[in-house]
Copies of this chain bind each other. A is one copy, B any other.
Amino acid sequence: MKKLGSVIEAQQFDKETLEKIFSTANQMEKSPPSGLLKGKIMTSLFYEPSTRTRLSFESAMQRLGGEVIGTENAREFSSKAKGESLEDSIRVVSSYCDIIVLRYYKEGGAERAKKFSSVPIINAGDGIGQHPTQALLDLYTIKKCFSRIKKLKIALIGDLMNGRTVRSLCYFLAKHYPDNHIYFISPEQTRMKDDIKSYLDKHNLKWEERKNFNSIISDIDIFYQTRVQKERFEGNIEVYKEIMKSSEGIYITRDTLKKMKSKACILHPLPRVSEIKYDVDGDKRAKYFDQAKNGVYVRMALLKMILAGY
């Protein structure tokens, strides 16, 4: 019987563990073991609100019979008046519970927390850093859709420069599933950065870059759409507007659907703004709400593997 430790970044898993997480998530989906984590307490320690992620983790914990305490207001710990360090807060909070799900506002928060915690940490996003459970649920969803993660043509679409999820997905694919083909499809201003491209090259994952998906629609298996992250353009609203304008050509619409493969699959980490039109939702290839639901199963799997073992 092994136990998973803290989950800090996407890259930490070897392929075997990854596959174990997916098979466990599948088991959670098919027949959740009720009461498995009875008596265990999870703290949701959120230094900034992220209601969707928090509720998903809390649902996962409760479906396994565990208990939840938490706050979305953890910055109070480190308020100007009280001035406590993250490290001290973690030492205290870890004495209250069996696992901490941490959302922090600065890169590296989860790694720092892990060093001082007496219980495992799951990184639920640290600034522009990692959000490994999102990457895991993306992969799990791909696997469910195609029963494989190879020989797929994957279009990553939208704000590829700032999008944390597409970057993580690239890392995972390069390292463990290089036998796929990636298309980066974005406006000029939000192209995927060079570090990722080099990483893909190093692992021999083939990629190309395009301004739109018009000529390749009927080849693509996965449309992974993302929103332009307005909050990254504060004080730069003109640039934001320009990008939004040039994004219109890569929106997914009823028209796109007509040209897609019948077995294609449309993903989105959500929230969605206008980059996938509402009238696409009813199509059976629209899998983004299933993807959100899969997040609960993947988190159940992690909680089980960390707290009860595998």
Contact = CB atoms under 8 A, between A and B. Distances in A.
B83 A55 contact: no
Contacts of A82: 230-231, 271, 273
A30 to B, nearest CB: 16
A91 B52 CA distance: 11
A93 interface: yes
Interface stretch (A62-70, A172-180, A213-221): A62-70
Contacts of A62: 41, 67, 69
Nearest to A233: B81
Interface residues of A, number: 50
Contacts of A74: 51
B59 A289 contact: no
Contacts of A83: 230, 271, 273
Nearest to A272: B88
B230 A92 contact: no
Given A73-B49, A292-B95, A81 B270 contact: no
Contact of A296 (B67, B71, B80, B95): B95
Contacts of A55: 43, 69-71, 93, 96
A3 B84 CA distance: 37
Contacts of A96: 55-56, 59, 293, 296
Contacts of A58: 69
Interface string A78-119: 001111100111011101110000000000000000000000
Contact of A77 (B34, B52, B73, B87): B52
